[in-house]
């Protein structure tokens, strides 16, 4: 087993120190982490419209669950948990290329990763 394969998404102490260019050859393990987003993020991601911003949150939550965009809405934090595939991948991750299908419209959590994460400056890097 190579040292690169010992990285585990839910164990930040196994993560690698982030360096520029790492994402170019990564298998997108960060996209297996739970992703919580705000209503503003959903708008930026193109998953809701300006009109939806005024919709009652319970109505929006119900619709986004039905459309299989979110798994859950956390009323306490006012964040939506984006749906993950059975293998753990974010549903927005292209399974072939391992690239984000909405790269130019990513939510703040993705834009700021790994600067803002469970272990700042480190990522669950796994080379392809």
Residue 42: count other Cβ atoms within 10 Å of its Cβ. Answer: 21
Query: b/e per residue, 61-92, with b = 16+ CB within 10 A?
Result: beebeeeebbeebeeeeebbebbbeeeebbbb
Enumerate the H helices of 1-56 as residue ranges.
Answer: 39-44
Q: Where are the domains of the chain?
A: 15-123
What does pTM read for this prediction? 0.88
- pLDDT averaged over every residue in the chain: 92
Indicate if the pLDDT at residue 3 is higher than 60.
no
User: Quick one: average pLDDT of 13-36?
Assistant: 92
pLDDT at 5: 59
Q: What is the pLDDT of residue 118?
A: 86
How confident is the model over 31-40, as a mean pLDDT? 96
Summarised one tens digit per residue, pLDDT across range 67-90 is: 999 999 999 999 999 999 999 999
């Amino acid at each position: 087993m190579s040292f690169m394969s010992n990285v585990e998404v839910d164990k930040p102490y196994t993560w690698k120190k982030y360096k520029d260019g790492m994402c170019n050859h990564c298998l997108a393990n960060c996209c297996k982490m739970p992703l919580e987003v705000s209503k503003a993020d959903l708008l930026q991601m193109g998953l809701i419209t300006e009109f939806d911003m005024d919709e009652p949150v319970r109505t929006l939550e119900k619709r986004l669950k039905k459309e299989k965009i979110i798994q859950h809405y956390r009323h306490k934090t006012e964040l939506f948990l984006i749906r993950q595939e059975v293998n753990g991948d974010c549903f927005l991750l292209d399974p072939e290329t391992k690239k984000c299908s909405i790269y130019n419209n990513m939510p703040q959590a993705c834009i700021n990763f790994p600067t803002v994460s469970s272990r700042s400056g480190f990522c669950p890097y796994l080379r392809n």
